[in-house]
Amino acid sequence: MSFIDELEWRGLVHQTTHDDLGARLESELFTLYCGFDPTADSLHIGHLLPLMGLARFQRAGHRPIALMGGATGMIGDPSFKSAERSLITLEEVKRNVEGIEQQLRRLLSFEGDNAAIVVNNYDWLCQLSLVDFLRDVGKHFSVNAMMAKDAIRTRLEDRDHGISFTEFSYPLLQSYDFLHLFNTYGCRLQIGGSDQWGNIVAGMDLTRRMGVDAATYALTFPLLTKSDGTKFGKTEGGNVWLDPEKTSPYQFYQFWLNQADADTPRYLRSFTFLSKEEIEALDESVTTAPEKREAQHRLAEEVTRIVHGDEALDAAVKATKAMFGGDLAGLDDAALLDIFSDVPSSEHSRSELAGDTLLLDALVEHGLFKSKGEARRMIQSGGLYLNNERVAIDLKLTEASLCSEGIAVIRKGKKHYHLMKFQ
């Protein structure tokens, strides 16, 4: 199977500019790039598809460039956005670039002939003089053509929101990036989400008009969807981040583990490097033994390993087993703290274990419940557990309430844990 056929099979190809791109990718080694806008200090799983896209090209022998939009991030891409974006400060952009660069480095290889390159367009865009830019670059853009593009037409038609000159100029900057990377690294292919098509094609036009004597190419990925129509990548807690401080590896693992049967086969293709044979076997298991959720387990395992590494995956799996396997007996303080490392906790005095403190009162006092009434309702409806055993309304704290030397594990409902630490 050729590389492009594999991409097609994985459902990763939305549009390409040339039908012969696939053949060329077999016979020549490309330098290609994908841009990432530093609008936050971490990437989220929406960025994972293009990022892994770069990694796939690298595995096929091509040389990937990850471009940080240090300059373009300060302008804001208007493509398919309904409203003008607020500007972020230079300091914010710098901090965001640093955070994101770390994450890029995890997924790409920086060794060998086709070692990945990380660049920041701030380094060249900020040196341009306005007049030179307008003469040399701006001259090649037709405002008529820009206004006709889908990606910004809605903004032009919407009188309430409109579009500023700043955002309108964005495609020029991204186009210039492509030109710059061609001149500096011989970069001939740009990849990105389907919303980037217009910007990428604009860059190709610019290289041609600037007299570049080589074909440049575009490849876009399809938009990720969910079978139930809700937005991919969001949970109750908001975005799923790649930064372990923002979304713990445990939460990350759980996110993938909880994907719907209907979506999992597609995600296995898009987000893992597993082989066609293995993925097709997993497809089969979704149909024949959905209750085993073999495909979801494999998906969660693979993606967590790719993003967070073996060690974090191991901890996430261990925590999952303890929380959903149910048995906490025999674990000591250290093991509990390890397993429940991203669970909130409260500090308590040993005197509360004397036998005259109601568990309910202790929980309210330490803020686990907003009010006593709420706590009572929770217990009365059978939703509160101490060390995985359902508690009664009049339960008092004693030494027997402890799970280990000094820790009691509280659970609200199925998934909400809390540690009480006694000292």
Q: How far is the CB of 180 from RNA (least distance, A)?
A: 45
Please, what is the minimum distance in Å from the beta carbon of residue 417 to RNA? 10
Return d(Cα 282, Cα 87) in angstroms, integer. Answer: 45
Of 16, 31, 103, 174, which one is the catalytic site residue? 174
| CA distance linking residue 329 with residue 100, whole number of Å | 41
- Catalytic residue list contains 195: yes
Beta carbon nearer to RNA, 147 or 393 = 393
CA angle 42, 45, 50 (to 5 degrees): 95
Q: Is 207 a catalytic residue?
A: no
DSSP code, position 406: S
| CA dihedral sign of residues 311, 317, 323, 327 | negative
152/312 with CB nearer RNA: 312
Which CB sits closer to RNA, 40 or 391?
A: 391
Please say if 174 is a catalytic residue.
yes
- What are the residues binding RNA (CB under 7 A)? 228, 236, 254, 257-258, 260-261, 290-291, 293, 296, 320, 324, 364, 370-374, 377-378, 381-383, 412-416
Count Cβ atoms within 10 A of the Cβ of residue 281 and give its class: 0-12 exposed, 13-18 middle, 19 or more buried: middle
Out of 14, 24, 85, 226, pick the active-site residue: 85
Q: Single out the catalytic residue among 81, 140, 226, 318.
A: 81
Catalytic residue among 16, 31, 47, 263: 47
- Whether 307 and 51 have beta carbons less than 8 Å apart is answered as no
Active site residue 39: yes
Pick 23 or 262: Cβ nearer RNA: 262
The Cα–Cα gap between 268 and 3 comes to 17
What 3-state class would DSSP assign to 383? coil
Q: Minimum distance from CB of 329 to RNA (Å)?
A: 20
Q: Which one of 15, 235, 287, 380 is the catalytic residue?
A: 235
For the range 203-208, what are the long-range contacts, defined as Cβ-Cβ under 8 Å and sequence gap of 24 or more?
Answer: 203/174, 203/175, 203/176, 203/177, 203/178, 203/179, 204/17, 204/178, 205/140, 205/175, 206/137, 206/140, 206/141, 206/175, 206/176, 206/178, 206/179, 207/178, 207/179, 207/182
**CB 308, min distance to RNA, A:** 16
Q: Is 10 or 293 the residue whose CB approaches RNA more closely?
A: 293
Residues annotated catalytic, as ranges = 39, 44, 47, 81, 85, 174, 195, 231, 234-235
